[in-house]
Amino acid sequence: MFQADVVHAGHLKLDGGAMFGVVPKRMWSKLNPPDDNNMCTWAMRCLLLRSADRCILIDTGMGNKQDEKFRSHFDPHGPQSLFDSLNALGVGSKDVTDVLLTHLHFDHCGGAIWKDENGQSAPAFPQATYWSNERHFQWAMHPNAREKASFLKENFLPLFENKQLEFMPDEQDFVFLPGISIRYTNGHTEAMMSPLVDTQFGQVRYCADVIPSQWHVGLPYVMAYDIRPLESIREKEIMMREACEKDQILFFEHDPVADCARVALDDAGRIQTIRVGTLSEY
């Protein structure tokens, strides 16, 4: 079992239509109201896992390397940052043993390499092994036109070149460590990791971008960013039905309000959220 703590890496803004896909604005705007540019605020929420001999971080947020022009598109903001959040938990950059990168989109792995006060970039966690899988890494190295702007090689290629990036087996429900298994999904992007972790709160499923927020529990709520939206729907349903059966906690990386939720089937067999809140409440 791992001690689990939420790590906040700040907020960013993303287009509401892109985040909610085919769902009409008159519906989604009541959930996460947009600004005048149709941009909604979203979290970059990571998860810290600690045991007697491991200190594991899942995802790293956007980081600080990108220039002002790039940052202006996404407006990273808020008082919380990756390192401040870790320090508040008593964790320094050299304490982290492993970093699981669910996928290599900039808002999930940008903090893997950090720019210091002198403008020099280096691995944010110098003692850590970073983890991806080869199928996704090759997908990111040779991106399609749809995802090209999200795969920034400066976020992950130096880790590979410095032999700090390792690949997990491309094997469904691979046991990374006792208490942590990895499921791969292919709707949002190729071979994205979704860890399932035994914690003091129960089993936690780190949903990454399969279910980025509480508002994406509904099956039609699929991001326009997804490369295979029908596969996303299928994968979401499998994940949520398992969560219903096993009373798992769904952890939301991008929800601006809630860390997580539990789901259950209603009398008609439909999936619904039954408890939404912060992880510490569980």
Q: Is the pLDDT of residue 130 over 90?
A: yes
Q: How confident is the model at residue 277 (pLDDT cuts 50, 70, 90)?
A: very high
**Separation CA 227–CA 231 (nearest Å):** 9
Residues above pLDDT 70, as percent of the chain: 100
**Separation CA 220–CA 109 (nearest Å):** 27
Q: Is the pLDDT of residue 282 over 90?
A: no
**Separation CA 209–CA 108 (nearest Å):** 10
Q: Is the pLDDT of residue 135 over 90?
A: yes
Distance of CA 246 to the CA centre of its chain: 22
* Total domains in the fold of the chain: 1
Average pLDDT over the chain, rounded to an integer: 95
The label of the residue with tokens 């200190």 reads: 55
**Separation CA 33–CA 18 (nearest Å):** 14
The average pLDDT across 133-161 equals 96
- Cα separation values, 202 from 100, 102, 138, Å: 20, 21, 34
CATH number reported for the structural domain that contains residue 232 in this entry: 3.60.15.10
Each residue's pLDDT tens digit, 217-231: 999 999 999 999 999
The average pLDDT across 237-253 equals 96
Domain that holds residue 142: 3-281
- The one-character DSSP state at 237 is H
**Separation CA 236–CA 219 (nearest Å):** 7
Each residue's pLDDT tens digit, 5-57: 999 999 999 999 999 999 999 999 999 999 999 999 999 999 999 999 999 99
* Whole-number pLDDT of residue 118: 80
The average pLDDT across 163-168 equals 97
* Whole-number pLDDT of residue 115: 85
Each residue's pLDDT tens digit, 98-127: 999 999 999 999 999 998 878 788 999 999
Q: How confident is the model at residue 75 (pLDDT cuts 50, 70, 90)?
A: very high
Q: Is the pLDDT of residue 67 over 90?
A: no
* Whole-number pLDDT of residue 270: 87
Residues above pLDDT 90, as percent of the chain: 88
Q: Is the pLDDT of residue 268 over 90?
A: no
Q: How many Cβ atoms from other residues are within 10 Å of residue 83's Cβ? A: 16
